[in-house]
Structure 1
Amino acid sequence: MSISYQQWQQHIDAWQQTKLTQAQYCRSHQIDQSQFSDWKRKVLEASNTNTVSSQFTIAQVEMQHTTSSLSVTLPSGLVV
């Protein structure tokens, strides 16, 4: 019997809601533990990839003729 990605995802989600070990969950659902481990890694990696977002912002550079010091003005107005 072939289990789809969505079915594996449902199994992983269901297992995370229990206090069972991975082995106990697999035995109770008649799932091969090594396949469960492989799919758990795939499902969790995919979910982590989908939640990552970029935190970049646009920087504005102004050239000033002063002594050799550097300051950064943050969007809140704070100068570092």
Structure 2
Amino acid sequence: MYVLLLGLLLTALKYLEVDPVAQWAWWWVLSPFAVTAVWWAWSDASGRTKRKAMEKMDRRKAERLQKQKEALGMGPRRRR
């Protein structure tokens, strides 16, 4: 995501002709977009995206169960 923001920033600086970015070739300015595309392709192909989504769902499920237990007065047990 940071590389995408960098690409947007560099594109804006090149368009507005802010030095030193105005002197750079366009392929340097647009290269963060290529890096972002490669990153997203790898992330999807490796299963990282799906794994992160499942971890988020599991975390939300655990929080919801804990909240329901506390509402019922069944909080964590204390050792005697």
Q: Same fold (TM over 0.5)?
A: no
Taking structure 2 as the reference length, what is the TM-score of the superposition? 0.32
- Structure exhibiting the larger radius of gyration computed from Cα positions: 1
Taking structure 1 as the reference length, what is the TM-score of the superposition? 0.32
